[in-house]
Amino acid sequence: MIYNKILENIKSNKTAVGLNININSPHLVEFFGSMGFDWVFIDCEHGSMSDSEAENMIRAAELYDMASVVRVAANEPYLILKMLDAGARGIVVPHIDNKDEAIKARNAAKYPPLGLRGSNYGTGRNNKYGSLINDTEEYYKFANNNTILFALIESKEAVENIDEILSVDGIDATWLGPSDMALSMGLPGKNQVQKYLDIVVKKTIEKGKISAATHSGPDQFDEYEHFHKLGSKVLSITSLSLMKQAAINWQKNIRKLD
């Protein structure tokens, strides 16, 4: 069985540190994996990766024991199934605004009796083509427990329905969407958006589930610290923002030489 690095860290009360990548680059996954990152977020909603390209990024993550988490483009069973069969350890489903949408995502991501996920037992890379499986029932149970299903909470409606969303067995975690949250609220002040995000984190932790938070820039460490104190143990940053900041600083220093 292949274990989930995110879950291993959480069980050890450690933060799972990850990278967001929205371009097709298995090499970039390997590059950050070599630095010791615990997991990678492969963005197939805002990224342009094909199914095969995303699968190759999942393979690259496995080289460094990184857990791969894929954000699918929509809450559609066939999209979720493809990425799980490709070996993703977690799925982020966008626009989970109510209980019905949470149930739909759960049914797609979890095997019966919890959900309705179809089986590729013995024929998929997610289970090493059956080579490591001795007991079918044991495998399905392990897969359900080892696969993290994140509900992306990114609207005012979702916050208003957060208790019902979290009540769905099989929704393992929430993922914060600050920018879309602000848009859904009519772009109010930062404090009002923060209040809604905090509600999601607190409710998630109260339910004994996993809270994930991400931000786009390395200069937003205070935001990470804030959510970590509230209980978020799955944190990530956009990989391009890290490289962008380093490039800007280097270029600025070099130009000072003139």
- State pLDDT tens for residues 8-52: 999 999 999 999 999 999 999 999 999 999 999 999 999 999 999
* Predicted local distance difference test score (pLDDT) of residue 136: 84
Average pLDDT, the chain: 94
For residue 254, give both structure tokens.
């070099």
pLDDT score of 189:
83
- Separation of alpha carbons 173 and 91, rounded Å: 10
pLDDT band at 127 (very low <50, low <70, confident <90, very high): confident
More confident residue, 119 or 57: 57
Q: Among this protein's residues, is 46 annotated catalytic? A: yes
pLDDT of residue 128: 80
Q: Is residue 70 within 8 Å of 91, Cβ to Cβ? A: yes
pLDDT higher than threshold 90 for residue 132? no
Quick one: average pLDDT of 86-100? 97
Angle at 7 between CA 170 and CA 27, to 5 degrees: 110
pTM to 2 decimals?
0.94
Distance from C-alpha of 258 to C-alpha of 256, rounded to nearest angstrom: 5
- Give CA–CA dist 7/69, Å, rounded: 12
Looking at the DSSP assignment, which residues form a beta bridge with residue 214?
236
Section 43-64 average pLDDT: 96
Question: Mean per-residue pLDDT for 131-153?
Answer: 89
DSSP alpha helix (H) spans, the chain: 5-11, 26-33, 51-63, 77-85, 99-109, 136-146, 156-160, 162-166, 178-184, 190-206, 221-230, 239-255
* Selected residue with higher pLDDT from 92 and 189: 92
pLDDT of 1 reads: 59
Angle at 16 between CA 97 and CA 166, to 5 degrees: 25
Chain Cα centroid distance, residue 101: 17
Residue 70: pLDDT over 80: yes
Q: What is the pLDDT of residues 219-253, one digit of tens each?
A: 888 999 999 999 999 999 999 999 999 999 999 99
- Residue 255: CB atoms within 10 A of its CB come to 8
The pLDDT of 61-81, averaged and rounded, is: 97
Dihedral over Cα of 28, 145, 162, 77: its sign:
positive
| pLDDT number for residue 216 | 66
- Percent of the chain clearing pLDDT 70 (strictly above): 98
Q: Which residue out of 46, 215, 226, 228 is catalytically annotated?
A: 46
State the maximum Cα–Cα separation within the chain, in Å, rounded to a whole number: 68
Which amino acid is residue 156, in one-letter code? K
Average pLDDT over residues 139-144: 92
Q: Which two tokens stand for residue 213?
A: 């938070």
Query: Across residues 113-122, what is the average pLDDT?
Result: 90
Q: What is the average per-residue pLDDT within 143-172?
A: 97
Q: What share of the chain is helix, strand, coil (3-state, %, to 5)?
A: 50, 15, 35
* In the predicted structure, residue 215 carries a pLDDT above the cut 80: no
Name 54's Cβ contacts closer than 8 Å, sequence gap at least 6: 42, 44, 70, 83, 86
Residue 19 has a pLDDT of 94
Reduced to 3 states (helix: H, G, I; strand: E, B; else coil), residue 223 is: helix
Token pair recorded at residue 188:
């109010």
Higher pLDDT, 202 or 123: 202
Q: Which residue has the tokens 């990152």?
A: 37
Residue 126's pLDDT is 84
Q: How many residues does the chain have?
A: 258
**What contacts 244, CB < 8 A, 6 or more positions away?**
none
Do 236 and 212 form a contact (C-beta atoms < 8 A)? yes
Pairing assessment for the beta strands 67-71 and 39-43 based on DSSP bridges: parallel
Specify the pLDDT at position 75: 98
- Residue 134 clears pLDDT 80, i.e. is over it: no
Stronger pLDDT, 202 or 125, i.e. the higher one = 202
